[in-house]
Structure 1
Amino acid sequence: MSSRMAGATLLRHLGPRLFTAADPASGLAASARGIMPAAARIFPARMASTEAAAPHAKQEEATEKPQGATTPEHNKKAVVSYWGIEPRKLVKDDGTEWTWFSFRPWDTYRPDTSIDMAKHHEPRAVADKVAYLIVRTLRAGSDLFFQRRHASHALLLEMVAAVPPMVGGVLLHLRSLRRFEHSSGWIRALMEEAENERMHLMTFMEVTQPLWWERALVLATQGVFFNAYFVGYLVSPKFAHRFVGYLEEEAVHSYTKYLKDLEAGLIENTPAPAIAIDYWRLPADARLKDVVTAVRADEAHHRDANHYASDIHYQGMTLNQTPAPLGYH
């Protein structure tokens, strides 16, 4: 049988289902209406979403609903996730509803504030000295610019600090795919660090609202820093992690100055934002000082993790050493 004859036979069988008009007198318009039910039988998943958006479908659905479906419970629309699964309702320890979608109760933790805040990695190699000099230069400029506006300084600092672990995690992820190798836990560790730094930023967004020029500064800094660090990590992961280690040392120093001004009364010790209370499992009456203390502890753990990554001559995922404990999650 030729392809033309086969096509004619298939059209003869499927034609009445696809193109039969509901009203012969309506011509083409009726044929178009006949396509929708037939196509819905052939492509049920795609047509279901299309019909849900059509106004006339809502009217037909209302006429087909049983009489008991008009109660508020049935009229309430369920919120579904990206995967089409209805999320379960989460509650806090006190029984109240969990309101955060950016993190879940199992992502929260109590910060380890017992870590040594004064720890410093003495630069020995030339690359270490270069990384330390760059970070010290950046710190001098930021301190001069922000002065005692610690909350605004924290916004810029956290935006910058959240870039390196994400860049490193993405590059290691791609390396793992290319080489068919496991990451020994480093990809997950870097992603957790990036998420933690982002939560710092979200917290300080509740403490202070940046002005338009501060937002512009953040955007410009991120655009330059992301590309520079991306190239630097490709050239030498060892140098990149050492740089971040020193960057976190300066973050600890900045938050220590923040705490001193809070204790001296130079900055109002306002109530802690709700997002910080839930994320770090702080007391309900926690203050801004408790938040800064928790953030400083996180930065100290990031400092140690990145110096450790550089100390073992971490070159992607060729070594079997697992990441050092980060002190959270």
Structure 2
Amino acid sequence: MSDFELKHKATNKISEKIAYKITQCLKFLLNIFYGSKYAKRAVILETIAAVPGMVAGMFNHLKALRRMKDDQGWIQELLSEAENERMHLMIFLDIAKPRWIERLLVLLGQAVFIIVYSLIYLLSSKIAHRVVGYFEEEACKSYTEYLAKIDEGAVENEIAPQIAIDYYQLPSDAMLRDVILQIRNDEAKHRDRNHSFADAYETHDLPAHQR
């Protein structure tokens, strides 16, 4: 995990400014509900984060079928991203143990974001991937703050959930901090990959089904 780095893609283009603004709106809404309640905040964050990969994977799958061209691995990568984010959610459900009202909020947030992100992807796939890139930047910041609170003793470094130990193949005595490091590393990969997807639309370095 020593190679982790907080990064920010500069908003030099109009599409980047739009994507960043959308991300900041999402962040604002997230902070209204949970602020510094990191585990419960992560439940909402991961619920939203699990949507883009599945939506993008579906649209790319249908496009590849229509054009009868190879996707060069994009679809599988996007679906794998969605599955990885889903596992993050499962882990935090075990940690945060949300009440029924919080679960309802998760379902409503997911329903709204599926519609919003689908519309964004249909209008501009480039902006949609850039939104995810910026969203993952915020996720990396959030998990870095989470780790700092654990190190300060403000958040208990509890025993890692078994689901996290199994998924990441951690030692049986792994702690919450070990899990957060793994999740933050995942988010950094998604951040970089989605920014690279958005860049591909600008350089036209796209798979055959996107041309």
2:150 is matched with 262
Residue 131 (structure 2) pairs with residue 243 (structure 1): yes
- Deviating more after overlay: 167-176 vs 309-318: 309-318
C-alpha distance 315-225 of structure 1, shift in aligned 2 (>3 A):
farther
Q: Percent identity?
A: 47
In the TM superposition, residue 148 of structure 1 has moved relative to its aligned partner by 2.4
Runs of 4 or more off by more than 3 Å in structure 1? 314-320
1:111-135 CA-to-partner distances (Å, cap 9, x unmatched) read xx24433111101111110111121
Of 208, 212, 218, 2:96 maps to 208
Q: Greater RCO between the two (CA within 8 Å, min separation 6)?
A: 2
More helix by share: 2
CA contact 2:200–2:206 (8 Å) conserved in 1: no
C-alpha distance 254-146 of structure 1, shift in aligned 2 (>3 A):
same
SS at match of 2:201: coil
C-alpha distance 212-178 of structure 1, shift in aligned 2 (>3 A):
same
2:4 is matched with 116
CA contact 2:71–2:207 (8 Å) conserved in 1: no
1:287 is matched with 175
CA contact 2:30–2:44 (8 Å) conserved in 1: no
Which amino acid in structure 2 is aligned with residue 244 of structure 1?
Answer: V
- Deviating more after overlay: 141-150 vs 236-245: 141-150
RMSD over aligned Cα, in angstroms?
1.7
CA contact 2:95–2:161 (8 Å) conserved in 1: yes
Max Rg structure: 1
C-alpha distance 229-314 of structure 1, shift in aligned 2 (>3 A):
farther
Q: TM-score, normalised by structure 1?
A: 0.61
CA separation in 2, counterparts of 1:249 and 1:127? 17
Which amino acid in structure 2 is aligned with residue 290 of structure 1?
Answer: D
Of 177, 196, 217, 2:65 maps to 177
CA separation in 2, counterparts of 1:219 and 1:274? 25
SS at match of 1:267: coil
CA separation in 1, counterparts of 2:86 and 2:2? 23
